Structure 1
Amino acid sequence: MKDRNSSGGVLIVAQTPFQLYMAIVISKLSSAPVKLWIIDPALSGYLDACSKSNIWRSVNYAELNSEYVSDKRSLSNRIRRIMSFYAIRLRIKNFLRINHPSVVLVFSDNHEVTAAFVRLSKTLTRSRVVLGEEGSAAYFSYKRTRANPWKVVVRRALLLDNCYGYSIGWSPYIDSVLVSDADLVHPDYIHGRDVVELPPGPIPCEALEAARTVFSINVQGNSDGTRDILILGQPWSEMGKMSKESEFQMYKEIDKSSFSKRVIIKPHPFENPKKYEGLENVMLCDSSYFSVPAELLFDVFKPKLTISTFSSAAINYTLRFGGLSIFLLDELNVPQVQRFVVDKLLGLGLFRICRSMNDALETVEDVLEKEEKLTLMSHESLAEWKLCVKKIF
């Protein structure tokens, strides 16, 4: 941990690679002093780079017993995890009392630790609490998940935040939300809060370069431009929303297509890249890219289009770079996602739904025939981004 104590300023809490990426962007563009907490073992490998970056006044790390996650059903492991959480919550209380941040920015409030940050920031230090956009969570109601009644009772007895097991956006302690496009956001996510919209277009170069340094990204990964169709992987089969067989068959059809040698796959940080073994023509991106957010790589790959079952990164690609995103929705058994894409995204003109693999292959071939080169939007929005960050803080 690196620490240069001072009161006030801004605190940002990051739990996933995408959240860390946005924490870097916002911190780099802020004129206020910022402190960082990272709270998940998925980010532990970036702790040293974060500490050496000089982006933050202090960098703190908390891990909720990752060694016990493999067997959550074990009663002893559950008890040890709860005790670990109590210890982390005590650290949070002490940190807030000493540092007294004026603003606390989190990207989720459904995790025990982030939920505790949100509540304690408001009740202990009366900080302004901002919920930053995280993946696709802003597009759906937090009520889409709810714990069983007996779990609610147990969680209440254990004094755990978010005892109802809601998804992101439930907390009554949030003052403002930070989103890319307010028109796409679900009403339950806004919930009477102040809304701050991120500027359109790509992330400013200054912030993008800082993020690439922390994530150790080599921008030469696709410099020849021959792989200009980007598949954005998702852990749907790992989550049980899609069978492994149908998922692999979907990729196999693309691997046999006329454009397969133009395809590059960016696996999701939380999926197993080994599931792509057996594909002969499509190419996996460099393994150093596996654990980083796809948003960091769009102007590295410069894709003509993206293909995914459904991906928030694909939405960000289209909103920020103006490229086409194709969704293979019929392969995915998540009705609320299908409704969102049909109701909200199709009207924007740069999203396509393909109801079959034949439809998807024909759509890609049609786009490629036109040979329209993607012209990335310029990175000249630095003043707009700094003004947006100033509104947050």
Structure 2
Amino acid sequence: MPSIDNESIFVCYTPFHILVSLLLARSMHAVALILGVDHFYNGRLIASALQRHVDWIGNVYAIEDKRITANWIRGNTIQRAIAMVRLKKMYSDCAPELKNIQASERTRWYLFHDGPMLSQYLLNLNLGEYLLIEDGAANYRKLKWQDMAKNMVKSIIGLFPPMGRSSRINKILVQEPERLPKDIRHKGMRLCLQELMFNVKENDKLIILRKVFPDLSRDISHGISGHKVLLLTQPFSEDGLMSEDEKISLYSRVLQRYPQSHICLKPHPRERTDYQSVFGNQITIIPREFPLEILSWYDNVNFDLVITWNSSAINNIGFAKEKLRLDKA
């Protein structure tokens, strides 16, 4: 792959990141995507589809970030910290395709996560302007003292604190910049995601649905049309906030409230729970990695009610008569 001089580079770790990148990139020039392809299902197939079918993207770089990180970062806490610092500086030796990217002082890097080692390496290049783009509710979360301590340690040993708190991150693009924690609110800029979704051209929609995400979008509207309730779950057990049994019990109580409704359940991408085996035919599962916002492009998808706890995705949907956030109820 020849070297290129990119003005805008998007660094993605989920299909949602790819979707937002495609919408933003339509009005940009000399765009490249760097994908952490082993962070999500069928990553390399999606990377290949992007390269072949999306003409407004210049180049796509598929990086196995999790594999590279796992191969390097081992041992006890001190050994892992040393390995992380070393890998941050020499990451491109493990992913040589990154050496084909010609960044300059005019390059704008759009990162959806600034914590993974791939992002840490790119921040360490210190070339151009770095922007963090909203990924979810975590962008608005205030730091606990434990997080502050971890960030301080990372800064001392030479790593960049995540969630936009590095001095290398110049701006943070979020839908509600006024909700950002005070320590990073000055970096906030508004991301008009609903406007981007609404204004996308029909031909671009078809490319995204049929070429980029065919496995995720195939028959999705037919499978969920007629359903009345959508439940968006959260990785409570995966994040250690409650046990797996407590999480299942929580969502069981919600489902019991709507026994006569056709219920769809959309797991969070980081969840490992097999909800189909738990609830059976009581629910229809939307693939966990499906960008929920895409449902607004289907005319036959309309829910009476969308329910969640702590999910920012509920703010991005316009296909529901009512939205219920139980953490605010």
TM-score when normalising by structure 1: 0.67
Cα 1:182/1:229, change in 2 over 3 Å? same
Other-structure match for 1:50: 50
Cα 1:278/1:240, change in 2 over 3 Å? same
- Which letter maps to 2:307? I
Gaps spanning 5+ residues in structure 1: where?
330-352, 355-393
Does the CA contact (< 8 Å) of 2:194 and 2:316 recur in 1? no
Does the CA contact (< 8 Å) of 1:181 and 1:198 recur in 2? no
**In the alignment, structure 1 residue 88 sits paired with structure 2 residue 91:** yes
Please give the per-residue CA displacement for 1:132-162, whole angstroms capped at 9, x wherever unaligned.
1121233124566537679927x855x4x22
The CA deviation at 1:23 is 1.3
Does the CA contact (< 8 Å) of 2:232 and 2:267 recur in 1? yes
Other-structure match for 2:295: 297
For the residues of structure 1 that align with 2:98 and 2:225, how far apart are their CA atoms? 50
RMSD: 3.6
The CA deviation at 1:247 is 1.7
**In the alignment, structure 1 residue 59 sits paired with structure 2 residue 60:** yes
Does the CA contact (< 8 Å) of 1:228 and 1:302 recur in 2? yes
Other-structure match for 2:13: 15
Question: Any idea what SS the aligned residue of 1:129 has?
Answer: strand
Other-structure match for 2:115: 110
Deviates more, 1:181-190 or 1:71-80: 71-80
Q: How does 1:216-365 map to 2 (within 5 A)?
A: 216=214, 217-218=216-217, 220-223=219-222, 225-280=225-280, 282-286=282-286, 289-300=287-298, 301-317=301-317, 323-329=321-327, 353-354=328-329
Does the CA contact (< 8 Å) of 2:88 and 2:120 recur in 1? no
Does the CA contact (< 8 Å) of 2:302 and 2:319 recur in 1? no
For the residues of structure 2 that align with 1:196 and 1:149, how far apart are their CA atoms? 28
The CA deviation at 1:168 is 0.5
Please give the per-residue CA displacement for 1:263-299, whole angstroms capped at 9, x wherever unaligned.
111122221241442325532325xx33222222344
Please give the per-residue CA displacement for 1:298-326, whole angstroms capped at 9, x wherever unaligned.
44442222112221211222xx5675322
Other-structure match for 1:174: 169
The CA deviation at 1:170 is 0.5
Other-structure match for 2:147: 146
Please give the per-residue CA displacement for 1:169-219, whole angstroms capped at 9, x wherever unaligned.
1011222222213333333333x3362442644603435444323121436
- Which letter maps to 1:214? V
**In the alignment, structure 1 residue 188 sits paired with structure 2 residue 166:** no
Identity across matched positions, percent: 18
Gaps spanning 5+ residues in structure 2: where?
none
Cα 1:170/1:309, change in 2 over 3 Å? same
Other-structure match for 1:345: none
Question: Any idea what SS the aligned residue of 1:211 has?
Answer: helix
For the residues of structure 2 that align with 1:62 and 1:144, how far apart are their CA atoms? 33
- Which letter maps to 1:221? I
In terms of fraction of residues, the more strand-rich structure is 2
The CA deviation at 1:73 is 6.2
Question: Any idea what SS the aligned residue of 1:230 has?
Answer: strand
Does the CA contact (< 8 Å) of 2:37 and 2:47 recur in 1? no
Question: Any idea what SS the aligned residue of 2:173 has?
Answer: strand
Cα 1:305/1:4, change in 2 over 3 Å? farther
- Which letter maps to 1:105? Y
For the residues of structure 2 that align with 1:150 and 1:197, how far apart are their CA atoms? 26
- Which letter maps to 2:252? K
For the residues of structure 2 that align with 1:150 and 1:229, how far apart are their CA atoms? 40
The CA deviation at 1:68 is 7.4
For the residues of structure 1 that align with 2:285 and 2:142, how far apart are their CA atoms? 33
The CA deviation at 1:249 is 1.7
Q: How does 1:198-209 map to 2 (within 5 A)?
A: 198=192, 200-201=194-195, 203=197, 204-206=199-201, 207-209=204-206
For the residues of structure 2 that align with 1:150 and 1:205, how far apart are their CA atoms? 39
For the residues of structure 2 that align with 1:136 and 1:150, how far apart are their CA atoms? 19
Please give the per-residue CA displacement for 1:54-88, whole angstroms capped at 9, x wherever unaligned.
34211112223538759976459959974655442
Cα 1:143/1:15, change in 2 over 3 Å? farther
Cα 1:149/1:81, change in 2 over 3 Å? closer
Does the CA contact (< 8 Å) of 1:201 and 1:321 recur in 2? no
Q: How does 1:373-388 map to 2 (within 5 A)?
A: none
Please give the per-residue CA displacement for 1:9-34, whole angstroms capped at 9, x wherever unaligned.
2111112332222112212x224120
- Which letter maps to 1:53? H
For the residues of structure 2 that align with 1:67 and 1:12, how far apart are their CA atoms? 20
Deviates more, 1:300-309 or 1:217-226: 217-226
